[in-house]
Structure 1
Amino acid sequence: KIRLIQIQRLGNGFTFMNDIGALCEEKASLEVIQLILGGKNTYLGCKTTLQGRESSLNADTAYIVGGDGRLDMNYVAVHEGKKTQSNMQAGGVLRDHAFKLYRGTIDFKWGAKGAVGNEKEDVLLLSNDVVNQTIPLILCAEEDVEGNHGATIGKLDDELLFYLESRGMNREQIYEMMAMAKVDAVCRKIPDAATRAKVQEFLGRAGEEEEAEE
């Protein structure tokens, strides 16, 4: 089993390109955890071939894109072996004039009997000027498989905004809280406490990691 953790926190003027390739043999497992917190343009790619029986892929990505930033993601899970499993999840927040493109492909090859593939994205739009594109794709050359995909795209509910404002929070604080919730959900999957603390420090929330553990 391999767990790959990547945290991107570059300055606003940088372009980041990252491409992952993996071949999983029998009962091998790849777990990818990615946090995209900075940079102007970010391009992410991940292609995993699940060749061996009962091999698996779990990919979790969280992102915050603001300004005129751009995030382009392309994730591919190729199922070749029997009873293979893939789970690809992405969730984040788009602000200002941000652009985001997510492409998720589950490719069931002939012979991948009993394989299961899932892909899901959850996007929160905090501006009317953002551009959000989601392109899920399931390819199937085998009958005995299960493929699922879904996307939740939305804005903050007016009733929720009213409630939180009545509790003394302003719009900026509310938006920040919701954005951090997306990142925290994936950050908690990082097993190393020091790394989690560095993420919180980068986000201007130093000390919250220790408080959460207590």
Structure 2
Amino acid sequence: MNVDDARVAYRLHGQGPAVVLVNGTAALDTHWGPVVAELGKQRTVISLDYSGSGDTTNDGNSLCLQKLARQVKEVAAAADVDRFDLVGHSLGAAIAIELAATSPDLVRSLIVVAGFSWGAEARLKLQFELWLDLLRTNREAFLKLLLLSGLTPTFVSMLGTSAIQDMIKAYVPLANWEGIARHEPHARN
């Protein structure tokens, strides 16, 4: 579906009351793992690739939370959903907060996981700058840092070293690296 300058890819799973899942930086649907199938047993699950990720294409212009939130809103409308529960992870949490704040009539409930409300906070700004440096110079190190900063220590430890290495090696050729580089600068504004 077209939103502004983007052709936004999205997927629908299951049926029932709608829940919209908004990924974090560099994430694809696989990010949600078994959550989509489990929720899909009783819910309509809507997931999308906002600009800079997955199968979505756009003109490469700068991104902002408002633009990404509008993409989520329009995907829900295209799925013929007028109210939904909204779940956002990391950058997806910031997008979800923006959407809930600007369109409270659409959002039945809001769950944010590993989110941030202000990307210009000194610690986050330092982290985002490091992400961008690694994105340009060492993509595997970028993905390792992303796992460490976006997932809980317990979850990462549960995965184990071998699984983490396999995940990183599998993801490197799939990533939209140019799009990912556009995700973090707007979060600092």
Q: Which of the pair is proportionally richer in helix? A: 2
Structure label with greater radius of gyration: 1
Same fold, TM-score > 0.5, yes or no: no
What TM-score comes out, normalization by structure 2 length?
A: 0.33
Q: Which of the pair is proportionally richer in strand? A: 1
